[in-house]
């Protein structure tokens, strides 16, 4: 994990996902992109005050 943090400080990360990781429909603005590389429509992110990647938070992580 420390290596990933160093990498983030040294180069930009590109978010080029075409589909929402929640509903799997084409991404349209507004979108939310997490550093774990998962992307969502804003309305697909659980908005109870704290935005979290639902895949990573639930432990159901898959390669994206």
The model's pLDDT over 25-53, given as tens digits with 9 standing for 90+, comes to 999 999 999 988 999 999 998 766 778 89
pTM of the predicted model over 0.75: no
Sequence-ordered list of residues with C-beta below 8 angstroms from that of 64, at least 6 positions apart, any chain: 17, 21, 36, 37, 38, 55
47 vs 17, residue with greater confidence = 17
30-to-8, 16, 39, 59 alpha-carbon distances in Å: 24, 14, 11, 25
Phi, psi of 4 (to 5 degrees): -65, -40
User: 3-class DSSP state for residue 40?
Assistant: strand
């Amino acid at each position: 994990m420390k290596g990933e943090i160093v990498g983030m400080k040294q180069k930009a990360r590109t978010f080029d996902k075409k589909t929402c990781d929640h509903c799997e429909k084409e991404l349209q603005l507004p979108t939310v992109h997490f550093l774990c590389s998962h992307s969502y429509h804003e309305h697909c992110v659980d908005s109870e005050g704290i935005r979290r990647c639902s895949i990573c938070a639930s432990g159901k992580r898959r390669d994206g």
